[in-house]
A and B are shown apart, each in its own frame.
Chain A
């Protein structure tokens, strides 16, 4: 399998450790996939900014990102719920010929055309399909599976009680492809269990962290009020840390717990958890940029500790 990693904005600029973790676990050192480096990506664009105010510009920007990968014969793997939702939605909308033509009219001004990924050739006709936009959680679960991952785990997290946070755009809206059952998703729980940890059940597991839609940016107090409910439920269930597939949710949990002055639970991205479990040294993962110290999690790591 060939993958082009799309790291978005939040990860490379705030949590580059997540990007590193993903490259290491997918790459030749661990799971052995081939990675393709793409230059020139911009913001996906994030839904609360451009999509909120001009859907057409959003589609143009997203299509431009997809053109960078369309000829690579690789799946575009996102590490963020927002990027996933934005690019997947764009790939689907571009199947509409009228929309696609309008977008390409604009893209031609910068010398680009979105065609999609070459699916097959019949005679002298090329057939294209939408660029494959994937999420790291779904990629790890579907393309590798729990067993293959467990086989690479050298530092299991046995006994670690994890509250998983799927976030919103990984699951919804289902009118665009639902990769996991939106009322009973399993993939993130499964990946956490593959590292030896325990995924605890807690109330309102599937609700929003509160950061999205521009709320964190505008009214952090409201975002935190929403996060507080999630925190309380996770805490009541005895969770020791939070694992998520979205860096913005991570950012929100990280900051909200400090701002709410509650006994904080360390927050990790699934790539970070997985990298640690596979024996990647913590100092390669940029964990110091997490506001809530992650030492308590590291102490639970088996097979030789930090």
Chain B
């Protein structure tokens, strides 16, 4: 229940009606002080205004080209943020990220971690029928082409190229599989070499290994 406060006699902001801001002794002994200069410098003077130089006029089109669909029709209603598990736990708000796309602020995405869970709740709730998860996928496409893949991803793709899968089993897993008569895990099979070679050819054909910076003959 909000009641608007009544003005008191004395100056505006004069909470105690004793005429002017005074130094108050707070219960825990700390004293209200003037802000130190370094803090003022940091907060006020270094705080900058966006001037439009950050605006990349092609960013929205680039997003569309990589499968992200138009972000311009976003109403900024915030429903996506409200259902996003990552927005709940971090300062990154889905709606705000889409706004940055609208603004064309491509550079800022270089500094934002790749933590969209891809749960698609944002898409399910969006009244403008936008798919923020796909927009972020498109941005990952753009970032990996502009500045290369992050280390964690290269690691994952490396394993994929080597084993054809995301991980490899331990010995006791292998033993269990044998005991239970499960099909031998593919890296166990002699023929699986052929599969790895196939993958290599495919990655070569699409250029994915080069994209991930994992092509052996590329000068690094």
Contacts and interface: CB of A to CB of B under 8 A. Distances in A.
Any A–B CB pair closer than 8 Å: yes
B115 A218 contact: yes
Interface stretch (B35-43, B54-62, B116-124): B116-124
Contacts of B164: 42-43
B186 A172 contact: no
Interface in A191-217: 207-208, 210-215, 217
Interface residues of B, number: 59
Contacts of A10: 166-167
A218 B189 contact: no
A46 B113 contact: no
B156 interface: yes
A192 B140 CA distance: 38
Interface in B164-220: 164-169, 173, 176-177, 180, 182-183, 185-186, 189, 191-192, 194-195, 198-199, 201-203, 205-206, 208, 211-212
A57 B152 CA distance: 19
Given A54-B206, A208-B85, A284-B180, A43 B166 contact: yes
Chain A, interface residues (CB within 8 Å), range: 35 or more
Interface of B: 66-67, 85-86, 88-90, 113-121, 123-124, 131, 133, 137, 140-141, 144, 149, 152-153, 156-157, 160, 164-169, 173, 176-177, 180, 182-183, 185-186, 189, 191-192, 194-195, 198-199, 201-203, 205-206, 208, 211-212
A110 interface: yes
A296 interface: no
Interface of A: 9-10, 12-14, 16-17, 19-20, 23, 37, 39-43, 45-57, 60-61, 64, 106-107, 109-110, 168-169, 172-175, 182, 207-208, 210-215, 217-219, 222, 225-226, 229, 284, 286, 289
A207 B121 contact: yes
Contact of A174 (B88, B124, B169, B182): B124
Contacts of B169: 12-14, 16
